[in-house]
Amino acid sequence: MCGIWALFGSDECLSVQCLSAMKIAHRGPDAFRFENVNGFTNCCFGFHRLAVVDQLYGMQPIRVKKFPYLWLCYNGEIYNFKQLQKQFGFEYQTLVDGEVILHLYNRGGIEQTASMLDGVFAFILLDTANRKVFLARDTYGVRPLFKVLTDDGFLGVCSEAKGLINLKHSTSLCSKVEPFLPGHYEVLDLKPSGKVASVELVKFHSCKDEPLHVACDTVEALPSGFDLETVKSNIRILFENAVRKRLMAHRRIGCLLSGGLDSSLVAAVLLKLMKEININYPLQTFAIGMENSPDLLAARKVAAHIGSEHHEVILNTEEGIQAIEEVIFSLETYDITTIRASIGMYLVSKYIRKKTDSVVIFSGEGSDELTQGYIYFHKAPSPEEAAEESERLLKELYLFDVLRADRTTAAHGLELRVPFLDHRFTSYYLSLPAELRIPKNGIEKYLLRLSFEDSNLLPKEILWRPKEAFSDGIASVKKSWFSILQDYIDQQVDDVLLEKAAEKYPFNPPKTKESYYYRQIFEKHYSGRSSWLPHYWMPKWVKATDPSARTLKHYKSATQE
C-alpha cells in the first residue's frame, strides 16, 4: 500500500505543485520521493512508500537497466509475479512484485499487461521511447486512483482526490477530478511539451469473465459441473488459494474480525495457512464495538476457537462522534452508510497503527456483494434479478465498501488485503447458476456457509450467524450505532436547513438531518465535487428510507423471535 502521484505538462512551478502530493503522505509513512522525468521538465512523479516487500530496492518510480525508457509508479500487490517470471523467463532486478509490469509491457503491450496481473493495483506507466503514458486499475478498484485532465493536456494522477484538488494550472483551477474506472486502462500520447492527449480508454476485465492469468495460477483446472459437492469443494479450494497468495509480505500480518461470517472465515483460513507455512508469530485479530456489542461477543468466540492473539477496541460514543469529520475527509464521500461503517474501521485502524506492529491487514470486504449477503436479497423477485444486483454491487464497490476499507486503513498507514475479491474466486462464484446463489431457508450467503459446514474452521453458531451490518454490529443491541449518530446530529442541524436542502444541494439532495450533516462536512473539504458520489447506497426491492439493515422488516422479525 502506497501513495502515488504524477503530473504531466504542468505550467506551474513543480516545487509548488508538489505540496499537493503531501496530502497523501499517510499512505506511505516509511519514505517519500519526488522525481522529474528526464527531458520533460514539467513532468514528475511523487511516491509515498509503505515498505511491505523489498525493503532495499522498493522505492519508486521503478526503473530498471534493461528498460531505461520506462518509468513505473504503482500502488498494489501482484500475487503472481513469480509464476509470470517462470512462465515467460523474466529476469528481475529487484524483489518488488510490481517490476513484472515493466517486463509484461515490454513483452506484449499494455492490454496483456493489465490482463495478466493477478492482484490489486493502480499504476502510472511512462514509456519515453514511444511517448506514451498508461494508467490502469484493478477489476474492483481495491486500490484507488483519481485523475484530472484539462482541455489543453495537463494531466494529474493520484491515489486520492485530495492530492489533485488544489493543483494550479494556467487556464483554470483543476475542477474535473474524477475516479479512474476499475477494470480499465487508458492510453495517452505524450507530446514534446509534456502535455498529453487521451487516445483510448479500454475495459480489460469484467468481474464475470475468467481472468487470463488463470493460465499460470498455482491451482490448476477445477472439476466442472454444478452438482453441490463439486461446487462446495471448488469454493473451498479457490477461497483458500485466495488467502494463501495474499500471504506475500515482509511485514507482520493481522486480521480485522467482526465476528460475522466473512471476517471470521478469512481469519480462520488465514491462521490455518500461516501455521502451514511456519510463520513464527501469532496472528493478531482486531474487533471494535461498544461494551458487550454483538460483534465483540462473536469475535471473542471466533478468536478463542481459532487461537488468535485477540485485541478488542472499546468504542465510546463521544470518540465516534468526534471522528466524523476526519473520517469524511479521509473517505472523500458523503454517502450515509459508508460514513457510519467507516467510523469503527477508522478507529480500529488507528489502534492497530499505534499499539501493534501488524501492518498487512486482512478483511472480509466483497463477500456481501458477491455472495448476496445483504438482508434485502431475501426480497429479490427472482434468482436472475438477484444475480444482476450482485454484479451491480460488485461494479460499484469502488464507490462504497472498497473505498471505505482502503481509506480507513490507509489513513493510518496500513495495507488492506481482501481475499473475497480474488479474481478467480469471484469469476467462479458468478459463473454458478443463479438459483444456487440466492438466500435459502431465510438465511443469506447460504451456499458459502454450506461450503464450509464440515470444515470445523468456525463454531456452528458463527458459521450460521445472520448478517449484521458493521455499523450496527459494533453498537449495543438496545441502540444501534446509526440511531446514536442520528440523536447527536438531530441537535446539530436545524429543521429549516433541512427544508431548504434541495436548494443548497440540488445534486443528491440530503433527505435527513444525518445526511445533511455529512454533506456539510464534505462540502467544507471538497466544495462542488458532489458528483464523486453518483447516488447513495440504498437497499433494493424494499421501501427503505435508511440504508441500515436494522430498519428492514426481515432483520426486526429475526431479532424479535
**Whether pLDDT at 557 is above 50:** no
The pLDDT of residue 1 is 63
Q: Is residue 521 part of a domain?
A: no
Question: What range does the domain containing 355 cover?
Answer: 239-485
Q: Indicate the annotated binding residues for ATP.
A: 256, 288, 363-364
* Residues 381 and 292 both lie in one domain: yes
Total of domains in the chain: 2
Looking at the structure, tell me whether residues 428 and 328 fall in a common domain.
yes
Q: What CATH number is given to the structural domain containing 38?
A: 3.60.20.10
Question: pLDDT tens across 196-251, in order?
Answer: 999 999 999 999 999 999 988 888 789 999 999 999 999 999 999 999 999 998 89
Q: pLDDT at residue 297 above 50?
A: yes
pTM above 0.85, yes or no: yes
Q: Is residue 233 part of a domain?
A: no
6 vs 38, which has greater pLDDT?
6
Find the mean pLDDT for residues 165-194.
Answer: 88
- Looking at the structure, do residues 178 and 250 belong to the same domain, yes or no? no
pLDDT score of 462: 93
Residue 7 lies in a domain: yes
Q: What is the pLDDT of residues 262-283, one digit of tens each?
A: 999 999 999 999 999 999 999 9
Question: 481-490 vs 336-355: helix axis angle to the nearest 10?
Answer: 110
412 exposure class (CB count in 10 Å sphere: 0-12, 13-18, 19+):
buried
pLDDT in tens, 325-350: 999 999 999 999 999 999 999 999 99
Give the three-class secondary structure for 534: coil
Q: What was the pLDDT predicted at 131?
A: 96
> What gap in Å lies between CA 459 and CA 441, rounded to an integer?
20
Most confident of the ranges 21-25, 39-43, 366-370: 366-370
255 shares a domain with 159: no
Neighbours of 319 (CB within 10 A): 13
In the prediction, which pLDDT does 427 show?
A: 97
Annotated binding-site members for L-glutamine: 97
Mean pLDDT of 529-535: 97
- Tell me which of 466, 485, 504 is where a domain ends: 485
In a domain, 538, yes or no: no
In this structure, the answer to whether residues 179 and 287 fall within a common structural domain is no
DSSP single-letter state for residue 93: S
Can you give the CATH number for the domain in which 399 is found? 3.40.50.620
Residues 143 and 269 occupy one common structural domain: no
Region at 45 (left for phi over 0; alpha for psi -120 to 50; beta for the rest) = beta
Q: Which of 465 and 387 is assigned the larger pLDDT?
A: 387
Residue 522 maps to a domain: no
Q: Is residue 548 part of a domain?
A: no
8 A C-beta contact, residue 498 and residue 308 = no
Asked whether residue 263 falls in the same domain as residue 371, the answer is yes
- Are residues 199 and 278 both part of a single domain? no
Q: Where residue 559 falls among pLDDT bands split at 50, 70, 90?
A: very low
From 485, 513, 533, the end of a domain falls on 485
320/447 same-domain check? yes
Poorest-pLDDT segment among 17-26, 87-96, 301-310, 514-523: 17-26
pLDDT of residue 555: 47
Quick check: is 220 in a domain? no
Q: What is the pLDDT of residues 105-152, one digit of tens each?
A: 999 999 999 999 999 999 999 999 999 999 999 999 999 999 999 999
Do both 18 and 148 map to the same domain? yes
Question: Which residues sit in the known binding site?
Answer: 97, 256, 288, 363-364
Cell numbers for 344: 469503527
Cell 515490454: give the residue.
106
Count of C-beta atoms within a 10 Å radius of residue 279: 16
Q: What is the pLDDT of residues 416-447, one digit of tens each?
A: 999 999 999 999 999 999 999 999 999 999 99
Q: Is residue 44 part of a domain?
A: yes
Same domain, 171 and 26: yes
Q: Tell me what pLDDT residue 560 has.
A: 41
What amino acid positions are annotated as catalytic residues? Answer: 2
Looking at residue 329, what is its pLDDT? 98
Q: Are residues 167 and 52 in the same domain?
A: yes
Between 390 and 37, the higher pLDDT residue: 390
Domain boundary among 203, 221, 253: 203
